[in-house]
Amino acid sequence: MSFHNYNPVRRYDKNPILTGKDFPDSYCIIHVFNSGIIKHDGKYLMVCRCEDAGLKAYFWIAESEDGLRFTPRDKPIDMPVNDPMFRKYAEVNIYDPRITKLGDTYYLMHAAHSRYDCRGALQSTKDFRTFTWHGFITDAGNRNCVLFPEKFGDDYVRLDRPLTTWDSGDMWISYSKDLIHWGRGDCILPKSRVPWAWSKVGAGAVPIKTERGWLNIFHGVRSQAKSHLVYQLGVCVHDLKDPARVIALSRKPILTPTMDYELHGQTPSVVFTAGVVVEEDRTIKLYYGGADTVQCVGFTTVDELLALCDEA
């Protein structure tokens, strides 16, 4: 394969699929990006990360029959604004929602920012109408929490990225019996293992179960000429029974910011995913934010991504 034929993720030619203009005027939404996604009752449900002109953050459901044309509902999801902990630790921002189905419940793991830094938070729903707030699931200094869609023995398992003071920016794993209290943290993918991401790596989409292992589409970041950070997407495979073992890894990123809507926006040179939909024929719709400004989608397949991952 020559370099110029290397194109594991094909962008939708009508990207971006959602921008602030698609939301009701009265909310003045200017950014929609890094949204979570799941198929529910045959429909694609996106939990959009939205920001208004005052940079107030919302999670806002948009629905689609085909995974390409999305219609936002008429208002955002209600947030637990009466909870004192939410008010204290989510005062600046809520972001990067990931949706995981476990049994008949859909869990929304997301980041929340306050003057005390970032924390992971958890909400759940069965119908995408009413959400239950479960509170914070990390202390300050953690983000990119992504819940696996299966339990491993008695454990729920998530990926995350603690902000360690020594050498931050690696992907960790952590375990829980009740989804609220987490522990046994372990660094499982240090950025030093990802040659194109020397600044940091973090989980992206909810991992996909395949016969070879859990396919994990993650983000990797490099500082470019000391002037800015470039966010790309990569892929690795975790052992089926022991997700702490990263058994294979792609040497190259699978998506690099090159289009205008990825290079220019409120944060230049960013592609960032919080979710995918895997269809029955093993094609993947990979949803990603462009430049922290617009929502995009690209297409790939389970088999192509697996083929890119060399034994690690």
Nearer to ligand BMA, 244 or 254 (CB): 254
Minimum Å gap between C-beta 245 and ligand BMA is: 26
Work out whether 287 is an interface residue with ligand BMA (CB under 6 A). no
Lookup: tokens for 28: 């003045």
Residues 48-69 as b/e (b if ≥16 CB within 10 A, e otherwise) read bbbbbeeeebbbbbbebeebee
Q: Say how far apart CA 137 and CA 51 lie, in whole Å.
A: 24
From 131-139, 183-191, 235-243, 267-275, span contacting ligand BMA (CB under 6 A): 267-275
**Which distant-in-sequence residues (6+ apart) come within 8 Å of 243 by Cβ?**
148, 152, 157, 173, 207, 214
Q: Say how far apart CA 113 and CA 83 lie, in whole Å.
A: 15
Candidates 288, 300, 187; CA nearest to 250 is 300
Nearer to ligand BMA, 146 or 248 (CB): 146
Work out whether 231 is an interface residue with ligand BMA (CB under 6 A). yes
Q: Are 199 and 169 in contact (CB under 8 A)?
A: yes
Work out whether 199 is an interface residue with ligand BMA (CB under 6 A). no
Total binding residues toward ligand BMA, as defined by CB under 6 A: 9
From 55-63, 125-133, 250-258, 265-273, span contacting ligand BMA (CB under 6 A): 265-273
Which of 124, 199, 210, 267 touches ligand BMA by CB under 6 A? 267
Residues 30-49 interacting with ligand BMA (rule: CB under 6 A): 34
Lookup: tokens for 299: 């297409």
Nearer to ligand BMA, 112 or 235 (CB): 112
Residues in the site for ligand BMA, rule: CB under 6 A? 34, 95-96, 231, 267, 270, 272, 289, 292
